[in-house]
Structure 1
Amino acid sequence: MRLSGKTAVVTGGGSGFGAGIARKFATEGARVFVADISADNARKIAQEIGGVAVACDVADGASVADMAARIKKDDTLDILVNNAGVTHLPAALEDVSEDDFDRLFHVNMKAVYLTARNFVPQFKAQGSGVILNIASTAGVSPRPRLNWYNASKGWMITATKTMAVELASHGIRVNALNPVAGETPLLKSFMGEDTPEMRAKFLATIPLGRFSTPEDLGNAACFLCSDEASMITGVAMEVDGGRCI
């Protein structure tokens, strides 16, 4: 019960790593708002864990403001997990369409700005709060043909560090997790095609020989968002089976 009495929101919580984090938080005693662009996915996970479903498009300012108002009306937030993310299909950097780039920019980067605008003032007022950004090993050790996705996750790692420095004096901690590719809906997009050969190629780059799982991310997220990590801020922790060594 390391998160007993805490309230958290997990964006992109309706599937993949976000669902794993939401499940772990609930198991550890937190009240969890499961935010997802898919209302059905959010509802499914929320019902499973006894949480609250919130339909939200994190790339849209009005939608994020509505989510924040919904949560503030119901509870005081302690933990914000910026997990929602997208990628583009593997391609030469100059061949990625402008529409795909704009979507990636809005979901992977602008969303962190939007949630900060809506929740940081509350965290400052209460003198506490934890923000966890789900970045990627792609921001540390980039793979070819995923250029703009890699860049967006590098941005998130830098954003995490600068947020941590600026918000520390207000009692707010900010950290990131860097998972390697995992068993999530994005896996096929990273690989371009989900075949045994392509999986073997990806796994060959991971010393522990397996993908990250939602449970792996949930366990790491729980630690960084708990009081056990009260002296940890500004880190981007790899949960990658040795991929970045």
Structure 2
Amino acid sequence: MLKSESCFECCIKCLGGIPYASLIATILLYAGVALFCGCGHEALSGTVTILQNYFEVVRGPLDSLDVFTMIDIFKYVIYGVAAAFFVYGILLMVEGFFTTGAIRDLYGDFKITTCGRCVSAWFIMLTYIFMLAWLGVTAFTSLPVFMYFNIWTMCQNITAVEGANLCLDLRQFGIITMGEEKKVCTGSDKFLKMCESNELDLTFHLFICALAGAGAAVIAMVSADTPPPSQWNSYS
């Protein structure tokens, strides 16, 4: 009986040593980054398909910087973001374990060392910088969502804009140079085929999911950058 009570107390202490705030922030960070990277990558691939099939945009030479080259660059950036924040999530959990007040209760009443203060301060500053970066990523991701929302709305109200003769000109979005003319007008076969295809609807909703993932990453950064009250005494 005494042995079972001892094991129970040990389990309670172990559970008390888990930094739940850092754990939730890490899970939210992984979920947000995975949603942003996965949906963003597929949305960019869908954008390439739409540009080639309905706007007839042709990929330029390998040494030229066109919209397809920029999309390839964004895909490689997504690969790097996924790998970097996988490592960062692990560091976030480790930092949470070693700065939580429950660890102090388990191993004795100690004061955090000067080195520990520097590490924690550096980690908080790094998290703050990442949070600002993800705010920029969220704002940047909202641009294709806004573009696709306009196109998707036109397709949903195709009967209302049938006699309006509206055109989607890629030059307005800065995708091609002003010397080129790649546009699709309402009432044309290309516009009708694009609205009936799965690429437009799927790409639009993938960008929405990518935007939601970027927002979740920002929330995770805010949660990770604000230590719970149980950690405040560790810095005194």
TM-score band w.r.t. shorter chain: under 0.3
Question: Which has the larger share of helix?
Answer: 2
Structure with max Cα Rg: 2
TM-score, normalising length: structure 2:
0.25
Q: Work out which structure has the larger RCO, using CA pairs closer than 8 Å and 6 or more positions apart in sequence.
A: 2
TM-score, normalising length: structure 1:
0.25
